[in-house]
Structure 1
Amino acid sequence: MQEVSIRTEPFDPQAEQSALSLSQGEIGAVVTFVGLMRDRNAGRTVERMLLEHYPDMTERSLAALVTEAKARWPVERVRIVHRVGWLVPGDPIVFVGVASRHREAAFRACEFLIDVLKTRAPFWKKELTDQGEHWVEARLTDARAVQRWSG
């Protein structure tokens, strides 16, 4: 199973989770996170969003995050799927899944991956809203979430 996938087409979070869950006997826990596109942001109604990236750079960045998670916790499988291109409210944007022998490692690795992905992966968001279009700025809350994983 490929650990990182960046796609323009929709993906099925259930199918991604099922692929992680295929047990070889060593898997005791699967923890997943699915990020969905919201229809509201900063008081604006969001009609659609464009996610842009630099393909090779983004894939290398996500692969490095997977390697880091595997070095920190005893996990058996990791899967990150991220959409790019135009999305509409309700679309799955990102899937992060971790399979491990034990739940603690799976929970911590999954939480780490989504926290650091939000700040380290080179993605740019442009929202088309009821007030026009604009690029989405990085959030202070995302930077704070990553701080707890340092050191």
Structure 2
Amino acid sequence: MTQQFLLLRYNNTCGPFTVSELIEQQLLPTDLLWQEGISICWKQAAEFEQLHDYVQAPEQVEPVAIAASEEEIVELNVKYCKSLVELREEYNQWNEKKQARRRLRAKLRVGQFVIMLAIVMAITLQLFRSNQQTSHHEKDETSLANNQLVTVKQELLTKDQ
């Protein structure tokens, strides 16, 4: 089975190509390749051993001409890749933001838990106080009824004597 590659050039994907077909394409340093069935990310053409010698040197690449208006033509050097240092820095910044968001969400969850706990404690305290008041009220009523019974008993005992 021959190796098949997709070619990403000037933000356009084409292919699949064999190694010999890629060599005919006159590979540019800015070209990215995807090896079908093997790649997990796009790589520069020069990163493949069998294609390294066939990638044009950066000086040989002609700038792409884009018409800004009918009268004026702007020349641009098209670059699709960043250096590894730039990618690491970009990733570290993204990761720091992600970690900061995660820490903030954790703090918010703790804050929400504390608020919920305070609400539950306040409700429990309120219920406890109302039960105590009801309990005292019931005790007062019970002791009053007991006193009345004792009084009635004494009256009955005195009448019997």
TM superposition score category, shorter chain reference: under 0.3
Query: Higher relative contact order at CA 8 Å, sep ≥6: structure 1 or structure 2?
Result: 1
Q: Give the structure with the larger strand fraction.
A: 1
Q: Give the structure with the larger helix fraction.
A: 2
Q: Which has more radius of gyration?
A: 2
TM-score by length of 2: 0.25
TM-score by length of 1: 0.26
